Amino acid sequence: MTEQLRLMAVHAHPDDESSKGAATMAKYVSEGVDVLVATCTGGERGSILNPKLQGDTYIEENIHEVRRQEMAEAREILGVGQSWLGFVDSGLPEGDPLPPLPEGCFALQDVDVAAGELVKLIREFRPHVITTYDENGGYPHPDHIMTHKISMVAFEAAGDAAKYPEAGEPWQPQKLYYNQGFNRPRTEALHLAMIERGLESPYGEWLERWKDTVRTEREITTYVPCADFFAVRDKALIAHATQIDPDGPWFRIPLEVQAEIWPTEEYELAKSLVETSLPESDLFAGIRDN
């Protein structure tokens, strides 16, 4: 294509873009693709997960602004653009029974109304490909599930002039993918590689828990080679300092082991308006030559 390719990654919170598909985005940026992250919420209700920062009064009282600063650093590292959709974090309800979601939060918005904000951004940016979460949200956080819902509505509506006429000139993305990086084959392969090398695997307990759960494996359709950008991904993730402990399990598998054993990030092709052959190694397969 002579036109510049464009990729939009729709995520629920700041930090999701760095833990899901970040190396893919950095790879495409290096190839001249224009990449935009759409962040649905500000992450205001996210807990401070980095034990080194827990108890910091300034962070606790200014978590919204701190997370915006972290996002600014991460997007600079990845080389992507980024836009806030402006919704309020729903938090992750815990307990039995689960407490109600807070009034006004993202997950309680009318899906069709909320999707209008994403339609507007799609029509402004004009992406050829969109990545988002599957119907389970990747994991059942209410904001992740809502992200899926508005992404599906927006993908269908963005190209229809009769829908959201106030949102700008219609634009129809050609493909939509679900992030599927946390899949069983990858986890098992990396776990076994660590054990074989006499190293401690961070995935032992994770795999044990999976044995006790009914888990339907998703269909992985697309494997994007991006090992050269795993270090960039990790640097972007560490920029989200309130959420990520740099000494935590995210970083316990050496990059050289990851590059050797599992050098890709994985996706599930959910919608395509172009012909493509599965499995793919490129999110733009079927678009580049069309």
Binding positions for Zn(2+): 13, 16, 144
| Separation CA 13–CA 41 (nearest Å) | 5
Other CB atoms within 10 Å distance of the CB of residue 263: 15
- Which residues are annotated binding-site positions? 13, 16, 144
Which phi and psi (to 5°) does residue 49 adopt?
-90, -20
| Separation CA 77–CA 25 (nearest Å) | 11
